[in-house]
Amino acid sequence: MNTTYLLQLVINGLVIGAFYALLAMGLSLIFGVLEIVNFAHGEFYMLGAMAAFFLLSHVQLGYWPMVAAVTVMGAGVGWLFHRLLLGGMAGRNFERSLLLTLGLGMVLQNGALYLFTATPKLARTEYGMQAVVIADMRVTLMRLFALAWAALAFVLLYLVLYRTRIGQAMRAVAENREAALVVGIRPERVARLAVVIGIALCALSGAALAPIYTVTPTMGLIFAFKAFAIVVIGGFGSIGGAAIAALALGVVEALLGGYLSLILADGVAFVAMILVLLFRPLGLFGTGVRV
């Protein structure tokens, strides 16, 4: 078997897996703090990619300022999302918040379809198809940069969650809502930050992946579908579990798609999720917090 091809697939898998991880970690964070599963998560990723496309092609922004701008916009949208829709729903009726985010997702996806049509768009950056060659492998700069963005996001998220007071508060709320209230944590503030971070991660993922894949209004749902499966596989509310499951899934998918068939790559997330539910319902890294 050709080693270069294998390594190439692994790298592609790691890139996609890293962004599955960013989406899944955002989902997990929002779920942990607000007890809301955000079904519109993928649509924010799609919006991020759309915004990236417009900033690159119409505003003629460079790659680096574009990614930064889209991420900041994502944070702003997250703030609005919490303020207008999610704020009053935290910890209340699960189905209600679920249908709310599902409805929002449909508005965003079909609104984008109506405004921008289903034609796939290619986001071009000033780096074009430039690539570096590492040990016979040709890796495009866009993939390397995407990986770097993901790594940066991982580190920042880790620092926020484990090295700041508000991060500590977030973990406290995720672990035990009532106890967190008792010790004087203000759930509103914590929830707002969780949503802002979650949506900013979506926007960053969209911006970083837009130059690698094509941009379409329907890209969000299929991408988010993997993120949902990952959250179940990794264990609900387990952010670290989501990251590991995401990277593993990305690589496995790339290998299956590269050597066997596309449909196996599509289905593996679902099969893994069902197996986990059957044999280890709390998830591979679940802490026992039941949904």
Partner 1 sequence: MSLRLLAILAGIAALYTLPLCGFSEYVMTVAVVACVFAVLSCGLNLVYGYGGLLSLAQVAFWGIGAYTAGLMAMDLKWNPWATLPFAGLLAATVGVFVAYASLRLSRHSFAIVSLVFALLMQLVARDWVGLTRGALGLPGLPQLAIGGYVFDSAARFFWPMLSFTLVSLALLYRLMHSRIGRTLLAIRQNEPLAQSHGVDALAHRLLVIGVSAGLSGIAGGMFVFQLTIVDPSIMDFYYTESMLIMVIVGGPGSFWGVLGASAVFTVLPEALRLTPELRMVLYGVVLVAAMLTVPAGFGGILAKRRENRWRTQLA
Positions that interact with partner 1 (CB under 8 A): 37, 39, 85, 93-100, 102-107, 109-111, 113-114, 221-222, 225, 228-229, 231-232, 236, 262-263, 266-267, 269-270, 273-274, 277-278, 281-282, 290-291
Helix axis angle, 262-279 relative to 239-259, nearest 10°? 140
The nearest distance, CB 148 to partner 1, in angstroms, is 30
Q: Which two tokens stand for residue 229?
A: 């499966």
Q: Which residue, 128 or 281, has its beta carbon nearer to partner 1? A: 281
Q: Least distance from C-beta 138 to partner 1, angstroms?
A: 27
Least CB distance from residue 117 to partner 1, whole Å? 9
Least spacing, CB of residue 102 vs partner 1, in Å: 7
Shortest Å, Cβ 149 to partner 1 = 26
Q: What is the DSSP letter of 114?
A: H
CA 225 to chain centre: 10
Give, in order, the Cα–Cα distances in Å from 51 to each of 67, 145, 211, 269. 10, 18, 12, 28
Question: Nearer Cβ to partner 1, position 55 or 112?
Answer: 112
Which C-beta is closer to partner 1: that of 27 or that of 142?
Answer: 27
Q: Are 41 and 200 in contact (CB under 8 A)?
A: no
Smallest gap from Cβ 16 to partner 1, in A, equals 16
Nearest approach in angstroms of CB 274 to partner 1 is 5
Q: CB-hemisphere CA count at 13 Å for 272?
A: 25
Collapsing DSSP to helix, strand or coil, 214 comes out as coil
Question: φ, ψ for residue 123 (rounded to 5)?
Answer: -90, 115
Cβ neighbours for 163, distance < 8 A, ≥ 6 positions apart: none
Q: Which is nearer to partner 1, 42 or 74 (CB)?
A: 42
- CA pair distance 193, 214, nearest whole angstrom: 30
Q: Which residues pair with 133 in a beta bridge?
A: 138
- Residue (93 or 130) nearer to partner 1, CB: 93
Q: Which is nearer to partner 1, 19 or 228 (CB)?
A: 228
**Which residue type occupies 184?**
G
> What's the CA gap between 38 and 204, in Å, rounded?
17
Nearer to partner 1, 96 or 186 (CB): 96
3-state secondary structure of 186: coil
d(CA 40, CA 27): 10
